Amino acid sequence: MNIVCLDMEGVLVPEIWIAFSEASGIPELRRTTRDEPDYDKLMTWRLGILKEHGLGLKEIQDTIAKIDPLPGAKAFLDELRATTQVIILSDTFEEFAKPLMEKLGWPTIFCNSLEVAENGEITGYKMRCGKSKLTTVKALQSIGYDTIASGDSFNDLGMIQASKAGFLFKSTEQIKADHPEIPAFEEFDDLLAAIKAAL
């Protein structure tokens, strides 16, 4: 019984915060989990910048509506889902993910949720659980699944290392250098072949 756990941003779709940084002209918002391993610190910092600039959920959703999956991502996901069970494990939020899930054919996603005021200001966020990717992989293993995981950032390393097979995909040179034991791929065909070989 196998289940594949995939990160979303940087693996299947472009990084939402980088796209919003470009759309809003605020370069500080380019920071992601590739740059900052502490997610709470990163999100608190982001919310402060949004407040400072008077930006809220609507502005981010307007940017997300224009984002398309990475070239080849939907075909990769379609073939993978025809082969085995797949769950996307993301530190993003339901309020951001929905239009992207539609473009990917509605795969299952486990993510978090935002706290939004009536005026659209993002006032906080609610994490589904601590270390959500690793916690979810361990929970799946506890109910009889072998997990295979792939991601690109610091926050994916736990689920990759805890799985029976794990792969970096479109990761940074630094993360690849720090973890030479994890096979790293840049193309969907190569990642698909590696996952199929691990099934």
What is the C-alpha separation between 191 and 184, in angstroms, rounded?
8
Q: Are 171 and 184 in contact (CB under 8 A)?
A: yes
Beta pairing, strands 85-93 & 122-126: unpaired
Helices (H), the chain: 16-24, 39-53, 57-64, 73-83, 94-103, 132-142, 157-162, 173-178, 188-198
122-126 and 109-116 as β-strands: parallel, antiparallel, unpaired?
antiparallel
From CA 12, how far away is CA 95, in angstroms rounded?
A: 17
CA distances from 120 to 52, 116, 117, 130, 154 (A): 14, 6, 5, 26, 30
184/13 Cα distance (integer angstroms): 18
- How far the first Cα of the chain sits from its last, in Å, is 9
Catalytic residue among 7, 15, 91, 156: 7
Q: Does the annotation mark 9 as catalytic?
A: yes
Catalytic positions: 7, 9
